[in-house]
């Protein structure tokens, strides 16, 4: 494990990319069996199938899935691999790799970062937010009623009272998140196949309405748009994925990006990354211990 030569790290990374889907699915089945009392299924992956197809095959008791389901999940994995502008878990990979540690320690640190609800857990927050919306808005086709709910979200009067519309806004993508735009066309197809056109219409309404509400309430005019998390949780719910797998699926995709970042750090630099601190407290006179 401590051999950080490039050929060995590349081998380790390819191995991790290939086994992450099995780690996720088998761990969930074990959890579902031992903690929830459900049946435990261990289906072997097929060498002839893609990662997305194998994931659905291993997860479902009957191993059955439609081509569209596999296509949309495959697209989700591609879109979540990495994105421009950097992100918390990829930066974590750089920082930990710069210490000279092994691949597994660096990836474990990245996983710890991804677990946070502001990073990899954001997609499930979107699903929960919409569930709360449907409970508290009598007619979700009424634009004014939905807008009023969004205002309550921002005023910390609804859902988790954090003042956020989850799935909206991104530190880098202000005009639009290209990942969300690509994803949306396939999400509509899957929603139609699953008989959830009404839910898709609600998501679309919120996507169009939220930037206006945010601009009005927060006076933010630089541009706010839906990010990839806005639709990914909805997709996972339509695929029947249990919530416990939402973030592991993100990890299945992002391990590719983490691997690239780890190799980049090893190739380009040989210096540890550390923060520089600057004290902003005013200088105060020293008081001896006897006088304190």
170 in catalytic set: yes
What CATH fold (topology level) applies to the domain 6-119+242-268?
Citrate Synthase; domain 1 (1.10.580)
Average pLDDT over the chain reads: 92
Q: Are 225 and 211 in contact (CB under 8 A)?
A: yes
pLDDT tens for 238-267 read 999 999 999 999 999 999 999 999 999 999
CATH 1.10.230.10 region(s) of the chain?
122-238
Q: Are 214 and 168 in contact (CB under 8 A)?
A: yes
Hey, what CATH class is 122-238 in?
mainly alpha
Which residue of the set 170, 177, 192, 261 is catalytic?
170
**CA-to-CA separations, 233 to 76, 130, 173, 193, 244, in angstroms, rounded:** 10, 10, 19, 17, 12
pLDDT at 173 over 60: no
229 in catalytic set: yes
pLDDT tens for 45-75 read 999 999 999 999 999 999 999 999 999 999 9
Tokens at residue 264, please?
């980049």
Residue 170: its pLDDT value, please? 57
Which residue of the set 94, 177, 229, 261 is catalytic?
229
């Amino acid at each position: 494990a401590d051999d950080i030569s490039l050929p060995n790290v590349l081998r380790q990374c390819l191995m991790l990319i290939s086994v992450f889907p099995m780690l996720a699915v088998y761990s969930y089945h074990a959890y579902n069996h031992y903690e929830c009392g459900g049946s435990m299924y261990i289906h072997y992956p097929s060498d002839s199938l893609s990662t997305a197809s194998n994931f659905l095959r291993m997860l479902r008791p009957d191993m059955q899935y439609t081509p569209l389901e596999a296509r949309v999940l495959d697209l989700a994995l591609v879109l979540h691999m990495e994105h421009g502008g950097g992100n918390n878990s990829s930066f974590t990979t750089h920082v930990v790799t710069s210490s000279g540690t092994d691949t597994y320690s660096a990836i474990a640190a990245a996983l710890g970062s991804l677990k946070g609800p502001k990073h990899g857990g954001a997609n499930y927050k979107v699903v929960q937010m919409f569930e709360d919306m449907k409970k508290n808005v009598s007619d979700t086709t009424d634009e004014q009623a939905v807008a009023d709910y969004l205002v309550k979200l921002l005023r910390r009067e609804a859902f988790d009272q954090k003042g956020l519309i989850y799935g909206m806004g991104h530190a880098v993508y202000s005009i639009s998140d290209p990942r969300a735009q690509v994803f949306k066309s396939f999400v509509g197809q899957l929603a139609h196949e699953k008989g959830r056109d009404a839910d898709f219409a609600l998501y679309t309404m919120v996507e169009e309405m939220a930037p206006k509400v945010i601009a009005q309430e927060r006076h933010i005019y630089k541009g706010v748009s839906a990010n990839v998390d806005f639709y990914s949780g909805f997709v996972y719910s339509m695929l029947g994925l249990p919530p416990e797998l939402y973030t592991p699926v993100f990890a299945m995709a992002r391990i590719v990006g983490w691997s690239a970042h780890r190799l980049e750090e090893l190739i380009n630099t040989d210096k540890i990354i550390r923060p520089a601190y600057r004290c902003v407290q005013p200088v105060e006179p020293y008081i001896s211990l006897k006088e304190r």
